[in-house]
Structure 1
Amino acid sequence: MDFANTPSFFRSGPPPAARLAMSVLASLALLIGDSRYALMEQTREGLSLALYPVQRAVNLPAQAMRHVGDYLTSQTELKQENTELRARQLQMSAQLSRLQSLERELNELRQLNAIHAQRDDAAQIAETLYTGRDPFSYKIIIDKGADAKLLPGQPVVDARGLLGQVTRVQPLTAEVTLIIDKNQMVPVMLERTSERAILYGYGGGVELRYLPQNSDVKEGDKVVTSGLDGVYPEGIPVATVTRVEHNTGATFARIAALPLAGVQQTRYVLALQAKQTPARPAEPPPLPDKKTKGGKKTADEE
């Protein structure tokens, strides 16, 4: 060891053993004083405050990595939860649609059963299978036919009103022509005034014809069957007046109406028995001419 460059303080100071003993004693004194009287508490607080930025700087990379990992984990979990929630929402929407459809069908069946219970005839509840093949005609096919003793001409209603008329009967099915078909007409009357008219289909809608210009008809009037044709029973709801046009010079008013029955969305229908009316009485024979006797000409006329 080069003692030439050693400071004079260490060269002339106490021996190493004395220095060691002094250091041990000072350490013991500090330990006892700190444990008994908390002499170093403020010093530790000051050092901790001074070294806090360094501690934060040292821990910053680890904290940043932990935050990034938590963020990525949260994003993955959120995406998975969103996917599960979307799938569950679609399932719930499908179930809700099915429940609403079943509830609507149940209400239709209840209303049809109520109508069936009010009638004394052998009405038949049927289900719509499909629509007709001709796109220019408005017809539906129901699941009752000759096996249920259906006959052509029977009126068909749903829970809201008149739907149409049976026009063709097969062994297991029947064809129903809707009132909106262009070849269909129904004798009706206004429920408010009892004025009679004829309701015609024009291919997608209905209108009232043969009501004079001065007839008391208003928008919102309810139209029911009149029962004068011997086919449709009296009082079945048919349509509601939506527009009334009085054209100058025309003999009859032009009246548009909206069908009450679900002509395009009804699933369950009720086939009623046609109204039974007595046969028309025979016409009386023509009276003989006053100038004849027993149907022969007199001699004067010859």
Structure 2
Amino acid sequence: MPRILKPILAVPFTLLFIFALAILPHLFQLNGGGGLHLDWSGSMSSVKDYFAGIGTGESFRFISGRKELSFWEQIGGYFRTSLFYIAIGALAGTTIGILVGIYFSLSRAAWLKRGVDLAASIPDFVLIILLQSLVIFVGKSTGVFVFKFASISSKDPAIALPLISSIIIPASYMIRSVALQMKLTMTEDYINVAKSRGFSKPHIVFFHALPNVLPFIKTDINKLLGILIGNMFIVEFLYNLRGVTKLLFTDTFSNNGYQYALAVNGLLALVIVYTVVYVLLRIYLWGWEKVFSR
């Protein structure tokens, strides 16, 4: 299949997946006896209403609390928040992952590697709660709160701790991936040839081994972003950030019931965030290739 067709074909499949995912809360309903039944007619009605409401604008209005709001007027702030944390987490996590992964592949400090493996094994929400608890403990002990442990309002958001949380998870994944690929690459014959020619160790690592590891990193971008997007549901909720996932958490189920249109629009916004950060990461890794390619 030509490479240009892959992103073109991905669009309808992505849209189909979003509409199918958003319909699940409508599809599975409880009956009078407490069992589940499939409400196909109500689900299909929601899909039809969404497409019918595109022309009238009804599909881009939602209930938040007791107010009816415009999705277009509200989504900008939510979108920027999610994009900021996911983009910084992806770029910083990738950078840390490459540099520390290279160090781990060459180092014999087993205790450091075990520390990274331990951090990677801690669930996201536990790690966030531990960070918040540490800030509160230090603040109460010293009277100085270095970081905000949650956002009180959109005008005074927590920044440092959510950024740390957004970076740790992808960085720990990338460290292990880069360290493994670097170890395998350093055993290749062309590395031994470079050593026999008298090149320094940093030169061999960055100008011989790393260019052959970067393609493996590029293939991991989708997995890395999947980890980040899943992590953001927890980060935005626990830090009370006004991001896209928080919008889905708080307003998709309102007093009037499940808001199918909001779920679809919110998931579409997440796909756009994913696409933007994916392009940024590809450009960023392309820059690494240009710098270190021989």
TM-score range, shorter chain: under 0.3
TM-score norm. by structure 2 comes to 0.19
Question: Higher Cα Rg: structure 1 or 2?
Answer: 1
Greater helix percent: which structure?
2
Larger RCO (CA under 8 A, 6+ residues apart): 2
Greater strand percent: which structure?
1
